[in-house]
Amino acid sequence: MILGHLTSQAASLGQSPSENGLSRRGFLRVGAAAGGGLMLSLSLPFANGQAESRDADKFVPNAFIRIDGDGRIVLAMPYVEMGQGTYTSIPMLIAEELEVDLSQVRLEHAPPNEKLYANPLLGVQATGDSTAIRGAWQPLRQAGATAKTMLVAAAAKRWNIDPASCQAQNGEVLHGLTGRSIKYGELAADAARMPVPKSVTLKQPQDFKLIGTPAKRLDTPAKLNGTAIYGIDVRPPGAKIATLAQSPVFGGRVKRVDDAAAKSIKGVRHIVRLDDAVAVVADHMGAAKKGLAALVIEWDDGPHAKLTTEDIASELEKATHNSGPVAQNIGDVEKAMASAVRKIEATYQVPFLAHAAMEPMNCTVHVRNNGCEIWVGTQAIARAQATAAKITGLPLEQVVVHNHLLGGGFGRRLDVDGVTRAVQIAMHVDGPVKVVWTREEDIQHDMYRPYWFDRISAGLDEKGTPVAWGHRFAGSSVIARYLPPAFKNGLDPDTTEGAIDLTYDLPNLHVEYLRVEPPGIPTAFWRSVGPSHNVFVTESFMDELAAAAKQDPVAYRLALLDKTPRAKAVLELAAEKAGWGQPLPERVGRGVSIQFVFASYLAQVAEVEVSRDGAARVRRVVCAVDCGTVVNPDTVRAQIQSAIIFGATAALYGEITLKDGRVEQTNFDTYQILRMNEAPAIEVYIVQSSEPPGGMGEAGTSAIVPAVTNAIFAATGKRLRKLPVDTTALKQPP
Amino acid sequence: MAFAIKINGNMHSVDVDGDTPLLWVLRDVLGMTGTKFGCGMALCGACTVHVNGAPTRSCVTPVDSIGTSEITTIEAIGKTAAGAKIQKAWFDREVVQCGYCQSGQIMSATALLASNPHPTDSDIDNAMSGNICRCGTYVRIREAIKQAAQSAGQGG
């Protein structure tokens, strides 16, 4: 029942551990924890994907292990739990090396502190981009091993024997010869005074007890009986509940508000008018919603009053007629294209998408004269703190943020617009206020997966083999807004992932990306980010080439994978398990995809049935994955199952459209999510590997989309180059 | 006006407008936050509770429609035989991810199992398709319901 220990730790861990004389600059720092325990803080390089730029001067602390005198082992979790299982897999890494049972590890949400808790792969304190395990893999095992070494040293000193004759096991240090043992808790204070080992030896894979096992999720029990506390469940004493209407057109303003009727509703306390939003503050959400419905708001729609999705698509299409920054160039595409026997060209486009996490956007804020306190479930706690400091004018250290479980993230909660909004409202309210968005507000004021428009072409030789590959696309760069330093020379590593690093042996490849920011609609990260678009385009197009060459889609791909054996292996495995090539009924087809994104290899085969009226149903999905070393195989399976449903939802239904500057979709009736009766059977096959772990939170989402549309092609002969699936185009003529 | 409603065997008095949805009475007035808000229009099932044993979307159930009916929420469902079996199966099968929708999923699944000890796939589809899970835990929900049904069949 570890969730009982998931406290929203805020202030105390935000301070550096009090260093003792034995601490040294470098990888690990040791301190005496309050109460005389052992506390380790890690130092990690600001890697940002560039190992070669490591510099000892840039080492900064990142996380804490704390072993209390009572034997409690507390881990301040710099990564947030939003369903991906990180609150189980991250502790597994420490527990493995520390030689403790997983049930002995207790978790606390890490407070905002970029210096201590920056994600080593992102450079900021954020959970996203499927980086938690990849970032934590080495440092958190080293942290566990270092703590273990010091505990053993403390015991050996007490017994006056050689540490090498001692052994750590199950939360205690043993001396086999004499049968003596001391529990970690009793050693914690002594261990804090031991010298930090210069280096530690990590366990070999064959010695792993936890890593690689399907450990039970630590957060499950509280999620089964209603006791788990998400951001939306927080209620500081005296807190009012508010809900809001933001300008229906992005960039619009409030012109006039008639709140007489709203104010007369029982339970409504007051109305907060902002420049571009109006909030109703009430005793409960029922009254707040009723008050909101009773408001008469006149808006000045601003410059985007007439904007439509078609306007944006047309601008992107136009942009792709001109060349842009080169994201990748291999060989000489122009020359190879000229010598090709056949040239294939296509355009693709993908829509704006909302995140629609089940927990609607919400944030609770208490603004006082000398401080601001925030309760929220966020993927980017330091960013949340920073925005609150900026709006209130308070120094950073006077903004306390309590992080909570997330009822889904998917990238939505990497942005802190919801925190910004709640703080703006809270500044007009005495006492704490919980701002809860309606579902309609959540969908119509999301920050959306960008719309992208692609032009892609290939040249085939006389055998049908691609000898040239040219790809140019236009759309928003979320990175340019979110992490400006990572946007260089017009390019960012996210928007192009999955387009510039294909698994195939393509001797001549040229990829260009044009950053075109759409007016009047904000964009953001969305589960599987750049690859959510690029894998659809490249794997659909590879299918087109196979069809043009009159070859089997799997065989065609396999012939191009000799240089990437891990990719070849997952494709062969998925095809075999799916029964590739075996006969299927009429209007049922199999489609395949292969990708290498988030440092994991995935191949999927989807089986899709298209009814006579054009409705597509995904019946079965087989996924083979090589994500390197597996920490928790059950979590890998769960994430693939999850990502497949998420991606299939997008492929079949996902689309946010604008008309008169307004998002047309409102709730789950117009923004449909795959349901139980539509969910495919899913089989997951994991390839054994000792490579470093790859990311698993998102990869399944990008892989399923082309697998579905390729299956529809196999079932109907219709090639879908625009998402979501157009059922009208799939109707069988009478 | 004040309404007296029976929730999980206990009487509560709440002073709200009669058209206030039960969801907000539970969450905001009584502080029972296990029941979740997802859509406000009975489209997602996150707010599912039992009214006299029947799965009901509390977000569209006005408090003045309840009368003497007995409300059961996620906080107490484990005290029912079917609820305990469902919770155990959810735990054994590692169903949950973010977990936000699971209160509603468990309430719907418990109602199904209580009325139909051996549901078919089609019964499961019918009973569970009103509950959206954005994490896509459907495959495991189906397995867990079958496991719970099996344990129900064995009398355990």
Q: How far apart are CA A74 and CA A675, in angstroms?
A: 38
Cβ within 8 Å of residue A156, ≥6 positions away: A162, A163, A165, A166, A173
Cα–Cα distance for residue pair A108/A80, rounded to 1 Å: 10
A724 prior amide bond cis, ω within 30: yes
For residue A368, the tally of other CB atoms under 10 A from its CB is 14
Structure tokens at A17: 């551990």
Which B-chain residues 117-156 have CB contacts (< 8 A) with chain A?
124-126, 128-142
The token pair at A413 is 């909660």
Q: Tokens 């892609």 belong to which residue?
A: A456
Compute the average pLDDT of residues A102-110. Answer: 83
State yes or no: pLDDT of A27 exceeds 50: no
Residue type, A138: Q
Across the beta sheet with A172-175, what order do the strands follow? Answer: A166-169, A172-175, A180-183
Contact B98/A at CB under 8 A:
yes
| pLDDT grade for A29, boundaries at 50, 70 and 90 | very low
- A255 in Cβ contact with A299 (< 8 Å): yes
What is chain A's alpha carbon radius of gyration, rounded to the nearest angstrom? Answer: 27
Reported residue count of chain A is 734
Q: Where are the alpha helices (DSSP H) in A611-698?
A: 633-652
- All residues of chain A having their beta carbon less than 8 Å from the beta carbon of residue B94 are 214, 216-217, 220, 634, 638
Q: Whole-angstrom Cα distance, residue A371 to residue A426?
A: 12
pLDDT tens string A463-512: 999 999 999 999 999 999 999 999 999 999 999 999 999 999 999 999 99
User: Which residues neighbour A320 within 8 Å (Cβ) at sequence distance 6 or greater?
Assistant: A347, A453, A454, A455, A472, A473, A474, A514
- Structural contact between residues A681 and A621, judged by C-beta atoms closer than 8 angstroms: yes
Low-confidence ranges of chain B (pLDDT < 50): 155-156
pLDDT value at position A64? 57
Q: What is the mean pLDDT of chain A?
A: 90
pLDDT at B154: 56
**Whole-angstrom distance, CA of residue A126 vs CA of residue B50:** 39
Chain A interface includes B33 (CB < 8 A): yes
Binned at pLDDT 50, 70 and 90, residue A192 comes out as confident
Q: Rounded to 5 degrees, what are φ and ψ at A604?
A: -130, 145
Handedness of CA A47, A51, A53, A56 (dihedral sign): positive
Mean pLDDT of A194-204: 90
Q: Which residues of A touch B29 (CB under 8 A)?
A: 283-284
Angle at A330 between CA A327 and CA A334, to 5 degrees: 95
| Neighbouring C-beta atoms of residue A694, cutoff 10 Å | 24
Q: Please tell me the predicted confidence (pLDDT) of residue A22.
A: 24
**Quick one: closest CA in B to A214, which residue?**
B94
Q: In sequence order, what are the residues at sequence separation of 6 or more whose Cβ sits closer than 8 angstroms to the Cβ of residue A555?
A: none
Minimal C-alpha gap between B76 and chain A (Å) = 8
Least CB–CB distance from B38: residue in A219, A290, A358: A358
pLDDT at A67: 85
Instruction: Quickly count: other Cβ atoms within 10 Å of residue A718's Cβ.
Output: 15
What does the alpha-carbon distance between residue A334 and residue A330 come to, in Å, rounded to a whole number? 11
Question: pTM score, two decimals?
Answer: 0.93
C-alpha span between A371 and A375 (Å, rounded): 14
Is the Cβ pair B139, A224 closer than 8 Å?
A: no
Nearest CB among A214, A286, A679 relative to B139 is that of A679
Query: Looking at A101-110, A293-302, A706-715, which range is the least confident one?
Result: A101-110
DSSP letters along A300-362, please?
Answer: E-GGGTT--HHHHHHHHHHHTTS---EEEEES-HHHHHHH-SEEEEEEEEE-BB----SS--E
For residues A648 and A109, the model is more confident at A648
Mutate which of B66, B77, B87, B94 to test chain A, going by most A C-beta atoms within 10 A?
Answer: B94
Can you say whether residue A529 is alpha, beta or left, with left for phi > 0 and alpha for psi between -120 and 50 degrees?
left
A·B CB contacts under 8 A: 200
At position A268, the amino acid (one-letter code) is: V
Residue length, chain B? 156
**Residue A123 clears pLDDT 90, i.e. is over it:** no
For A531, phi then psi, to 5°, come to: -60, -25
Q: Which two tokens stand for residue A493?
A: 């590593």
Residue that has been written with the tokens 């053993």 in this structure: A152
- Spell out the residues 6+ positions from residue A197 whose beta carbon is closer than 8 angstroms to its own: A146, A149, A150
CB A701, CB A598: distance < 8 Å = no
Does A676 sit within 8 Å of B124, measured CB to CB?
yes
Q: What tokens were used for A633?
A: 């195989």
Of the candidates A455, A208, A470, the one whose C-alpha atom is nearest the C-alpha of residue A333 is: A470
A122 pLDDT tier (thresholds 50, 70, 90): confident
Give the closest-approach CA distance of B93 to chain A in angstroms: 9
CB atoms within 10 A of CB A183: 15
Closest CA to A407 of A383, A376, A440: A376
Rounded distance between C-alpha atoms, residue A68 and residue A184, angstroms = 9
pLDDT digits (tens, 9 = 90+) for A570-594: 999 999 999 999 999 999 999 999 9
**What SS3 state is found at B41?**
coil
Chain A CB contacts of B101 under 8 Å are 358, 407
Confirm if B53 and B116 have CB atoms less than 8 A apart.
no
Measured between CA atoms, the residue of chain B closest to residue A1 is: B91
Q: Which long-range contacts (CB under 8 A, 24 or more apart) does A85-88 make?
A: A85/A217, A85/A632, A85/A635, A85/A638, A85/A639, A85/B97, A86/A127, A86/A132, A86/A133, A87/A6, A87/A217, A87/A218, A87/A219, A88/A215, A88/A216, A88/A217, A88/A218, A88/A219, A88/A632, A88/A635
Query: Pick from A179, A266, A210, A184: which is nearest to A93 by CA?
Result: A210
Q: Left (φ > 0), alpha (ψ -120 to 50) or beta: where does B8 sit?
A: left
Residue A449 pLDDT level (bands cut at 50, 70, 90): very high
Instruction: Write out chain B residues lying below 8 Å of A679, CB-based.
Output: 136, 138-139, 142
Would the pLDDT of A91 be above 60?
A: yes
* Nearest one of A208, A43, A28 to A118, comparing CA atoms: A43
- Tell me if B58 sits within 8 A of B48, measured CB to CB: yes
Please enumerate in sequence order all residues whose Cβ is within 8 A of that of A529, keeping only pairs 6 or more positions apart, or say none.
A129, A411, A478, A494, A495, A497, A698
Question: Is A283 in Cβ contact with B134 (below 8 Å)?
Answer: no
Are residues A225 and B135, on separate chains, in Cβ contact within 8 Å? no
Beta bridge partners of A268: A282
Q: Do A286 and B28 touch (CB under 8 A)?
A: yes
In this prediction, residue A57 has a pLDDT band, given cuts at 50, 70 and 90, of: very low
Structure confidence at residue A140 as a pLDDT band (50, 70, 90): confident
Residue bearing the bigger pLDDT, A15 or B48: B48
Q: What are phi and psi of A384, to 5 degrees?
A: -65, -45
Rounded-to-integer distance, Cα A705 and Cα A606, Å: 9
Q: What is the pLDDT of residues A650-670, one digit of tens each?
A: 999 999 999 999 999 999 999
DSSP labels for A512-563? Answer: EEEE-PPTT--B---TTHHHHHHHHHHHHHHHHHHHHTT--HHHHHHTT-TT
B residues 75..94 contacting A (CB < 8 A): 75, 77-78, 87, 90-91, 94
Helix (H, G, I), strand (E, B), or coil: what is residue A509?
strand
Residue A386 has a CB neighbour count (10 Å cut-off) of 18
State the nearest Cα–Cα gap between A291 and chain B, in angstroms: 12
Q: Residue A512: beta bridge partners?
A: A326, A472
Res. A39 pLDDT band, cuts 50 70 90: low
Taking Cα atoms as reference points, which of A1, A43, A49, A109 lies closest to residue A497? A49
* Closest partner CB to B136 (pick from A290, A407, A642): A642
Q: Which of A663, A659, A646 is nearest to A701 (CA)?
A: A646
Write out pLDDT tens, residues A351-403.
999 999 999 999 999 999 999 999 999 999 999 999 999 999 999 999 999 99
Q: DSSP 3-state assignment of A434? A: strand
A283 with B142: Cβ contact below 8 A? no
CA distance A569 to A687: 8
Query: What pLDDT is stored for residue A36 in this prediction?
Result: 52
Q: Token pair of A44, please?
A: 């990690």
C-alpha to C-alpha distance for B72 and B77, rounded to whole angstroms? 7
* Chain B hits for A677, Cβ within 8 Å: 125-126, 128-129
Q: Looking at the partner chain, which of A285, A408, A634 has a beta carbon nearest the beta carbon of B98? A: A408
CA distance B3 to chain A (A): 15
Using a 10 angstrom Cβ sphere, with 0-12 exposed, 13-18 middle and 19 or more buried, the burial of residue A340 is: buried
Residue among B99, B125, B128 minimizing CB distance to A219: B99
Rounded Cα–Cα distance for residues A623 and A604 (Å): 4
Share of chain A above pLDDT 90, in %: 79
